[in-house]
Amino acid sequence: MKLKNIILTFTFLSLMLFNTMVFTQDSNYNLIQKELTEAQRDLLQKEREVIKTNREAFKKSLTKEQLAILRDKTISKNEIKKRLVATFSIDQKSMIQNQQVRLRTTRESFRKTLTNEQRNMLNERINKIRQSKDIGELKDGARINNAPGDKKKRKN
């Protein structure tokens, strides 16, 4: 009986904690969404859908060799990126370039629709996020800057 109560209590607390984190993340996003006009929300929603379709099309264009590079867990992410980019076809490169251009134009068009109040509100939210995170903090301390070309070393 006692074990059953402990399990139920633990389950209840873990569910409460999980739901709090989910609602917290969702509420920050909804707060920003509430400040936008209907046209701005529609623009962002349409762009999200286009990005998803472009990603799916790009994923379908990957060859077996490229997928094998992506699945390789023995190399670093930077190395994976270098190897993958080296294997891109002309079509894949144009897909990526078109997506980058589209994102830039969407950002610019969205920025043009923002009012001064919206800009200030977004800047405040971004600054709060930046201040709340330990940006630049490393587990083993700050990095020591070495000569160009040398690998960065951490203080011990």
Residue 135 pLDDT: 56
Residue 29 lies in a domain: yes
The answer on 114 and 74 residing in a single domain is: yes
Return the higher-pLDDT residue of 20 and 55: 55
Determine the structural domain holding residue 113 and report its residue range: 37-127
Instruction: Give residue 64's pLDDT.
Output: 92
Q: What is the mean pLDDT of residues 128-144?
A: 63
As a whole number of angstroms, the distance between CA 33 and CA 121 comes to: 12
Helices (H), the chain: 2-35, 38-61, 64-71, 77-86, 90-113, 116-132
Please indicate, yes or no, whether residues 102 and 63 belong to a single structural domain of this protein. Answer: yes
CB of 53 closer than 8 Å to CB of 143:
no
Q: Into how many domains does the chain fold?
A: 2
Of residues 146 and 95, the one with the higher pLDDT is 95
Instruction: Return the residue matching tokens 């929603």.
Output: 45
Measured between alpha carbons, how far is residue 81 from residues 75, 105, 126 in Å? 10, 25, 29
Residues 28 and 72 in one domain: no
pTM here is 0.56
In a domain, 137, yes or no: no
Question: 141 burial class (0-12, 13-18, 19+ CB within 10 angstroms)?
Answer: exposed
Q: What is the mean pLDDT of residues 47-56?
A: 90
pLDDT given for residue 10 in this prediction: 62
How many residues are listed for the chain in this entry? 156
Mean pLDDT (whole number) for 35-52? 87
pLDDT score for 121: 86
> Do 80 and 49 lie in a common domain?
yes
The pLDDT-based confidence of 155 (bands split at 50, 70, 90) is low
- The pLDDT value recorded for residue 90 is 92
pLDDT, one tens digit per residue, over 72-91 is 888 888 888 898 889 999 99
